[in-house]
Each structure stands twice: as structure tokens, then as C-alpha cells.
Amino acid sequence: MNRLTVMIVEDHDATRLSLVAKVSTDPKLSVVADVGTLAAAKREFDRLKPDVLLVDLELPDGSGTELIGLASGQSQILVISVFGDEKRVVSAIRAGASGYLLKDDDAREISVAIHQILNGESPISPAIASHLIAHFQRNAASQTDVSLSLREQDVLMLASKGYTYNEIAELMNVSANTVGTYTKRIYTKLEVNSKAAAVYEAKRLGLMDD
């Protein structure tokens, strides 16, 4: 059985080893690298291109958000952090993270979250969700000239529910390439690099129902 590859970026040795142990409990996952600096993470990411990237945001030689931006579109990205404040959460999602968990989440939650991300979902710890809700509420009155066509809204809504390109194409009676084109237009209009960020921005701007 081909296991899904996971790379872990965490500067604290004990925490990194703990994360490796948690992920390794899942027989479908394989930790192919665990590093503690941004420089090492960039180097190993370029070499390995893992299916999933677990990354901390506070690294000794830079921000994990930079790595998220580089990896967005190539791997699925899950933030694992002790910090759950609004600024870090929003920055990570804008950069391309698809999920955000706290380090004290148990092994099963982390394993489940990895599989959720690979299935097109966006796992977020409850404590993190409260910060996002507060952010939505404060920005609810924001005005924007951005608009999505009805077809683009349909694509985004279906994507937010976890449907794949092929499934969306079948439901909308179009080709998968057409769905990809709609998705690129959505990302361009909303100035984002991931599905989670697109859903976040669309809801914030009132372009998509909760």
C-alpha cells in the first residue's frame, strides 16, 4: 500500500518528535521529513514535494507563513501551532493553509485532519474557529467591487462541501477543465491561493452564504 507522505516543520525538538509519533500512528501516513528551520524546510520541500505539509508558524529563521506561500498549490497544508490568535490564523489561511490545529490536539484529531485536507475539507480547531467568526463579524460591513458569476458561486459552494473537480464537473454538466478555469478565476478575483482562503474571503465579502 502506498502511504501518503507527510513533512513536519517544527523548531522545538520534543514537540517535533511528538508530532512525528502522532502522525506515525496512522498506517496510511508516512513522515518523510521532519525539520526545525525555514531554510531546511524549503530545501526538503523542494526535494520531496510531500502530499501534506504540517508547519508551525514561529520558526527561528523566519515565518512558517512564507513556507505556506511557497508550498500552496503543490501540497495540502495544515498549520500546527500553540498560537491561535486571529492575526496568525488569518495570515496562514490567506497564504494557502487549508487547516489550522493546535499542538495539544490528540493524535487521532491530527490524523483525521490530514485525511480531511486530502479529501478537500478544511479542519480547524474549535478555539481557532472562534477567532475567525470574530473576524467575520468585524468585517461584515466591508464593501467590495468583487463579484462572482453564478457559475463561479456554484463551483465555490460545491468545493466548500468537499467535492472534487471531477465531481463538480459531473454535477454542473461541464468538463473538469472548465471547473479548473472557474476556480482560477475565483482565486484571481478574491486574491487567494487556496480553497479555504477563497471560502473565507467569499463569506467575508458577502459573496457566499455561511
Q: Give the pairing type, strands 76-81 and 4-9.
A: unpaired
**Is 90 exceeded by the pLDDT of residue 61?**
yes
Provide the whole-model pTM.
0.66
How far apart (Å, rounded) are the C-alpha atoms in residues 77 and 190? Answer: 19
All structural domains of the chain, each given as residue ranges with its CATH number in brackets, are 4-136 (3.40.50.2300), 140-204 (1.10.10.10)
E strand spans, 71-190: 76-81, 99-102
Cα angle, residue 23 at apex, residues 21 and 24 outer, rounded to 5°: 60
Q: Tell me: the pLDDT tens digits for 10-58?
A: 999 998 998 999 899 999 999 999 999 999 999 999 999 999 999 999 9
- pLDDT grade, residue 108 (50/70/90)? low
Residue 159: is its pLDDT beyond 80? yes
Which amino acid is residue 46, in one-letter code? D
If we measure between CA atoms, which residue out of 119, 125, 76, 121 comes closest to residue 102?
125
pLDDT at residue 120, rounded to an integer: 82
171 within 8 A of 128, measured Cβ to Cβ: no
Q: Is 31 helix (H, G, I), strand (E, B) or coil?
A: strand
Residue 38's Cβ-count burial label (10 Å; 0-12, 13-18, 19+) is buried
Residue 1 confidence class, pLDDT cut points 50, 70, 90: low
- Mean local confidence (pLDDT), 59-82: 90
Confidence at residue 190, expressed as pLDDT on a 0 to 100 scale: 87
